[in-house]
Structure 1
Amino acid sequence: MFETNRLILRPFQENDINFMLDLWNEPEVQRGTTADYLVPRSKKFKEKLREWTQSVPQVDNALFYVIITLKETGEFMGNLTINVSNHKNRDGTLGITLSRKFWGRGYGQEALLFTLDHAFKSLALHRVSLGVFESNVGAVKLYTKVGFKEEGRIRKGVWIEGAWEDVILMGILEEEWRSDIQHLRADATS
């Protein structure tokens, strides 16, 4: 279990499954998280969620998987994962999902700052990559703020609500993180 100023990042517990289903049924969250059809997820989807959490870290290349909770109340907020498909290259793919009610309050930034620091210092990654839909403007701003750089685009790579969107590919290198960390920490506390 890890702690930041306002968050606890902990392992999955069985009672998280209902909260995860609720999270996947938030239309705004689903719209920014999956390239699948945007549909209500039934209770049967819990089995898929359980499968994902039980595969960590042995299957699906998950190196790091945590549930994000609010330190003050213990309330479920979302989850965060880093997958590594090729350990030789030390490139982790990051994914974060946060409930809509926690957006815009700096929680995502706090979780990402901790996770990137941990990824480079303790997990010995060389780079962390991610993909984000271009309409997810808040996420793009957040990733840029914590040091990710746009590395490319998959043009018209995802169909969302009747239109094609680009998928923005972003990454941050270990040396960029080390040079920017003091600045990023200062910004996070102000």
Structure 2
Amino acid sequence: MFATDRLVLRAYNESDLDELLILWNEAGVQTGATIDHVVPRGPKWKETFRSWLDNARLHWIIQLKDTFQFVGYLTLRDENPKNRDGDLAITLKTAHWGKGYASEVLKFTVDHAFRVLNLHRVSLGVFETNDRAVNLYKKIGFVEEGRLRKANWIDGAWRNVVLMSILDEEWSARQAQQQ
């Protein structure tokens, strides 16, 4: 278990699968987090989560430190182990958006990925319509690498997926500047 100023970051338990299903059934969450159809998910969807979390190099269940209330989850998968590239995904319940929790978790996780897991780069994909997430990733230090053009159908229109990453040397330089 790890902690930031306001959050606890821990491994998942079977009991978390219920919270994850509730989270994934928020339409706003699905719209911003999946290229799949936005539809209600039933209990079998818990198996999808179990697979995602079990096959990730790192996963956090994110909770508030003072109440242990469920906030969301983060995964870091080994998409390219030879090149030490981790693929990051984070999802928070909509009730916790705009409170700085994602920033707190991302800063801790990126630092952990480089210092402890010895990754060379952390990559992610984000929908171009998710301005808040794109701006947050840029603030953390992620750089846009390209776009998958018209790769996702959302609300009756094709949208691009923005590909972003941060390299270990970029993170180290940012840390040195902030000291």
Please list, as runs of the form range in 1=range in 2, the aligned pairs for 1:121-136 lying within 5 A after superposition.
121-136=115-130
- Note the C-alpha offset of 1:50: 2.8
Of 165, 169, 175 in structure 2, the residue corresponding to residue 175 of structure 1 is 169
- How far does the alpha carbon of each residue in 1:35-93 deviate from its partner, in whole angstroms, 9 at most, with x for none? 0000011223223223333xx2xx4xx21111011101000111101111222200111
Q: Name the residue aligned to 1:21.
A: 21
CA distance in structure 2 between the aligned counterparts of 1:70 and 1:183, rounded to whole angstroms:
29
Q: Name the residue aligned to 1:107.
A: 101
Code of the residue aligned with 1:81 in structure 2: it is T
CA distance in structure 2 between the aligned counterparts of 1:50 and 1:157, rounded to whole angstroms:
26
Classify the secondary structure of the residue corresponding to 2:112. Answer: helix
Classify the secondary structure of the residue corresponding to 1:82. Answer: strand
TM-score normalised by the chain length of structure 1: 0.90
1:7 and 2:7 matched? yes
- Note the C-alpha offset of 1:183: 5.2
Q: Name the residue aligned to 1:65.
A: 59
CA distance in structure 1 between the aligned counterparts of 2:150 and 2:12, rounded to whole angstroms:
34
Name the stretch that deviates more: 40-49 or 137-146: 40-49
Structure 2: give runs of 5+ residues left out of the alignment: none
Q: Name the residue aligned to 1:33.
A: 33
CA distance in structure 1 between the aligned counterparts of 2:16 and 2:10, rounded to whole angstroms:
11
CA distance in structure 2 between the aligned counterparts of 1:5 and 1:138, rounded to whole angstroms:
22
TM-score normalised by the chain length of structure 2: 0.96
Identity of aligned residues (%): 54
CA distance in structure 1 between the aligned counterparts of 2:19 and 2:5, rounded to whole angstroms:
23
CA distance in structure 1 between the aligned counterparts of 2:119 and 2:88, rounded to whole angstroms:
12
- Note the C-alpha offset of 1:17: 1.0
- How far does the alpha carbon of each residue in 1:123-166 deviate from its partner, in whole angstroms, 9 at most, with x for none? 00000000000011110011011000100001111111110000
- Note the C-alpha offset of 1:117: 0.4
Structure 1: give runs of 5+ residues left out of the alignment: none
Q: Name the residue aligned to 2:141.
A: 147
Name the stretch that deviates more: 40-49 or 115-124: 40-49
CA distance in structure 2 between the aligned counterparts of 1:106 and 1:173, rounded to whole angstroms:
23
Code of the residue aligned with 1:37 in structure 2: it is H
CA distance in structure 2 between the aligned counterparts of 1:94 and 1:52, rounded to whole angstroms:
12
